[in-house]
Structure 1
Amino acid sequence: MADVKIAVIVGSLRKDSFNRKIAKALMSLAPAGLVLEEVDIGQLAMYNQDFDDESIPLAEWTAFRETMKQYTGVLFVTPEYNRSVPAVLKNALDVGSRPYGQSIWNGKPAAIVSVSPGGLSAFGANHHLRQSLVFLNVPAMQQPEAYIGNVANLFDAAGEFVNAETKEFLYKFMLAFAEWVNKVERQ
């Protein structure tokens, strides 16, 4: 497979969040052919359709939309807030899906990794995000699913994995994602 650019979108704004650590680990485990780059969503103002309706979209919305157009696929890494995705992630979905009919998400293959310090592994956020992606016509990889719970026990003080089993799972997840991207792109 020729190099394929994948946007990594992290649903946590904290620079040292567990989600960001998992995202960095996934980026390091990507097989040849996938080029993963994190796309920052923290600067996006909350979506207000009036700006698009009046043809004066905010500069950060335009920059985000243009940036996302250069990526073939998306890897979402998200925590769970109140059994859903964080507002910053939902806002990025909204900004990218507008103006109506010009969605930057349309047809991009995706995968979701949900991360939590608790045992439920952000299951609710993972599935809530999948609902939004269905509407946005984003084919999300179905298997393997990735729910990373008890994440605080997976890293040492330097941010390196201490759990070989999880590292192996994430490596296999990235192999499957590469296959998924290739399959969707061939269609």
Structure 2
Amino acid sequence: MSVRILALVGSLRAGSHNRQLAEAAARVAPEGAEVQLFEGLGDVPFYNEDIDVEGSVPAAAAKLREAAQASDAFLLLSPEYNGTIPAVLKNAIDWLSRPYGAGALVGKPAAVVGTALGQYGGVWAHDDTRKAVGIAGGKVIEDVKLSIPGSATRFAEIHPADDAEVAAQLTEVVARLHGHADEAVAA
């Protein structure tokens, strides 16, 4: 049985470097691991308890929850918007945190990585994402980190999968996440 890792990308832009990182993660996944990119975060409405009613949850939110429930671990890829986490990624975490105490993130390993334009590669956004996932019940792997600075220039003419340094770092991230997920599945 393969460990299923759900990748949630915090950028909706078609040419997003974080989406490209997610694609690269899927390519470098070790044997026994499958990284699946979730499509449709932009369709998920903002979390609102009034619409989170059993039997009438919006279809896009239900699709997100189903994909998350079927996953063994999470790889969240985030740019940095105004020094913090993009709203679309925070919204996904909010939907996955419910029902309180029994959301799809609870007890599952999660790693946060990404790239951003600035010199620190999105570190603030990544820290905020780890905090939100942890509060939502995810088992954040604090020592698995990858923040790649200067995305616009570094990946201007090369896909992250073709950048040897990034591919090696991403391979390590996915392998470590796979190991944590494998342990959790076996427990």
**TM-score, length-scaled by structure 1:** 0.89
Residue in 1 aligned with 2:148? 148
Distance 1:101 1:163, change over 3 A: closer
Match of 2:13, as an amino acid? R
Residue in 2 aligned with 1:22? 21
1:51 lines up with 2:51 in the alignment: yes
Which range moved further: 94-103 or 117-126? 94-103
Q: How many residues align?
A: 186
Residue in 1 aligned with 2:135? 135
Deviation at 1:148, TM superposition (A): 1.1
- Segments of structure 1 that go 5 or more residues without pairing to the other structure are none
Distance 1:54 1:72, change over 3 A: closer
Residue in 1 aligned with 2:173? 173
Residue in 2 aligned with 1:7? 6
Distance 1:181 1:59, change over 3 A: same
Please list the CA deviations of residues 44-89 of structure 1 after superposition, one character each: whole Å capped at 9, or x if unmatched.
0111111235863222222221222111111000011122110011
Between the aligned partners of 1:111 and 1:154, the Cα distance in structure 2 is 22
Match of 2:182, as an amino acid? N
Does the 8 A contact of 2:112 with 2:144 survive in 1?
no
Match of 2:89, as an amino acid? L
Deviation at 1:153, TM superposition (A): 3.7
What RMSD over aligned residues (CA atoms) do the two structures have, in Å? 2.0
Between the aligned partners of 2:145 and 2:3, the Cα distance in structure 1 is 22
Does the 8 A contact of 1:114 with 1:125 survive in 2?
no
Residue in 2 aligned with 1:38? 37
SS in 2 for 1:107: coil
Please list the CA deviations of residues 96-140 of structure 1 after superposition, one character each: whole Å capped at 9, or x if unmatched.
222334311111111110211221110101111111122122112
Deviation at 1:146, TM superposition (A): 0.8
Between the aligned partners of 2:99 and 2:176, the Cα distance in structure 1 is 32
Between the aligned partners of 1:9 and 1:177, the Cα distance in structure 2 is 14
1:184 lines up with 2:184 in the alignment: yes
- Segments of structure 2 that go 5 or more residues without pairing to the other structure are none
Distance 1:105 1:35, change over 3 A: same
Deviation at 1:170, TM superposition (A): 1.7
Distance 1:65 1:147, change over 3 A: same
**TM-score, length-scaled by structure 2:** 0.89
Residue in 1 aligned with 2:118? 118
Match of 2:166, as an amino acid? T
Distance 1:120 1:5, change over 3 A: same
Deviation at 1:173, TM superposition (A): 2.0
Which range moved further: 81-90 or 56-65? 56-65
